[in-house]
Structure 1
């Protein structure tokens, strides 16, 4: 094999597929990036058997072939090459030379014959969504996915299409994040749970705008994301997702309209007094036109009042400050509405159009006013 390409194109391709290199594996071949120049285009591939990524880069093929190169050393070499044209050439024993200007690396490659290519299946009825929108709705929900795998379904996000609307749901037992978006093209109904890792890597790779499209294909075991010249294939999480409809009760006794930035800044200031591992809640106490926020820890305490517009009953309720801040970061509106039933029930942050719903469960606290 002999190929020639620009260092910038090679580096971009290597950075994309490196996200699918396994951190640990018993299959040595998967510790490699595959360069496949056997079919008239230069394709880079990595696969950890849960997620596989392939991308096509620009370049010239002088001799067709395939080689697998170490996924740690090869990217490091590419990053340190001069910003110029790169030639990669292998011999019959997969010894590989990487040449750029006056520099030449000789490294040991492997046969790509035993490499696990990403799964292929018939691609019909694609789900089309703009790259900008997809990245936006995933980044504004994925923080609610559980980090541990005590419950497998909580380690992924639900992507559900019904009546040509895409709903994305993430939850971890303490909060729920939901985003809804209308799809522009007719799409069949789909319900699938995609691992957090897959979605995290995709939103790192995607850099397109509103007019650039992601095509999504689903079968019984896998989901494919195609965008630009990159394909990401992931296993889906099998099982029944949580029945979130029963969480979305419309009942509330208190509705508060508040400036999002002021609310966020107040909680941010309060968080100075709390270590990340502490379970100190921020306590919200509403009056007619004012919300009082307070927090107390061994470092000290904070009390601050914010102007609000309130409908319904007064309420005193406690929250994990991080969970509220995560939700507020994901909202672009200047003013937001909070809906609460009582101190033991979840708080809903949602807009009138139904484009987002953030649910935060309350935290128990000692009411200083209680007898």
Structure 2
């Protein structure tokens, strides 16, 4: 195999597929990137058996062929080469030569036929969504997935399509994030649990352009994202997702409307007195037309009042401030509405059409003095 391509094109391709190279593995071949120039295009592929990414790059194929090469070393070499044409040539004795201007590297390659190729996925079930919308849906929900494997479903997000609405849900046992949008085409109703890792990596690759589309195909076991000459294949998480709708009450005894920026800024200031790992809650005291925020810790305290519009009863309630900040940061509305029942019931932050719903469980603050 011999190919020639621009450094910028090669580096972009390597950066994309490297997201599917495992950091630790007992299979050395999985630490490789497959360079496939066997046909009339140059494809780069990486696969950790759970997540696989393939992308096509521009370049000239001098001699057809296919090689597997250590991903980290290859990436480091390409990154440090001059901004010019790079030639990659496979030679005898499983050696590959990489040259650019006066720089030349010789390194070992692995047999391409040992590589774990991406599975062939039946694409009968699919739908399309703009890159912008998908990137936003991930950004607005991904923060509330669980970061451990104690409950596998919590480490992923629910993709649910029902009657033309696409709903994305995440939860970690302390909060729930829900976003939904209308799809512009008729799509079969379905429920899929997509690994959070997959969505985090896809979000980094997506350009986020409104006019560029992502085609999403799925089977019982896999989901495929195709966009910009790139294909991402991921295993789905098995099992049934939580019965989310049973957790979403429409009852409330206190409803407040507040300027989002003011509330977010006040809570953010309060966290100055919360050390990392500290579980000090922020106390919110709702009275008449004001909301008082209080936090006390060993290093200091803060007390701040914000104007609100309130319907219903007065209420004092405590929250993990980080959970409120995470939700408020991804809401674009100038004003947000909070629905509360009592000091032990969840707080709901949602718009009138419920295009977004954020549920945050309160915390016990009886020990705060």
Same fold (TM over 0.5): yes
- Segments of 5+ residues of structure 2 without an aligned counterpart are none
What does 1:1-371 correspond to in 2, within 5 Å?
1-366=1-366
Deviation at 1:302, TM superposition (A): 0.6
SS at match of 1:113: helix
Moved more, 206-215 or 237-246: 206-215
Deviation at 1:367, TM superposition (A): 7.3
| Cα separation, partners in 2 of 1:208 and 1:306, compared to 1, 3 Å | closer
Aligned equivalents of 1:367, 1:332: Cα separation in 2: 35
Aligned equivalents of 1:251, 1:101: Cα separation in 2: 69
Moved more, 337-346 or 203-212: 203-212
Aligned equivalents of 2:167, 2:292: Cα separation in 1: 34
1:116-152 Cα offsets, whole Å, 9 max, x none, are: 0111122124210000000001111000000011111
Aligned equivalents of 1:13, 1:112: Cα separation in 2: 18
Conserved 8 A contact 2:36-2:65: yes
TM-score (norm 1): 0.98
1:169-206 Cα offsets, whole Å, 9 max, x none, are: 00000000000000112211120001110000000000
Aligned equivalents of 1:23, 1:226: Cα separation in 2: 24
SS at match of 1:119: coil
RMSD: 1.0
Aligned equivalents of 1:208, 1:262: Cα separation in 2: 28
1:271-308 Cα offsets, whole Å, 9 max, x none, are: 00011211110000011100000000001111110000
Aligned equivalents of 2:304, 2:107: Cα separation in 1: 63
SS at match of 1:264: helix
Conserved 8 A contact 2:125-2:218: no
SS at match of 2:148: coil
Moved more, 209-218 or 118-127: 118-127
Aligned equivalents of 1:230, 1:91: Cα separation in 2: 28
SS at match of 2:274: coil
SS at match of 1:173: coil
TM-score (norm 2): 0.99
Q: Say how many residue pairs are matched.
A: 369
1:44-93 Cα offsets, whole Å, 9 max, x none, are: 00000010000000011010001111111000000001001111000143
Aligned equivalents of 2:366, 2:239: Cα separation in 1: 39
Deviation at 1:368, TM superposition (A): 6.9
Runs of 4+ residues deviating >4 angstroms: none
- Segments of 5+ residues of structure 1 without an aligned counterpart are none
1:226-248 Cα offsets, whole Å, 9 max, x none, are: 01100000000000100000111
SS at match of 1:72: helix
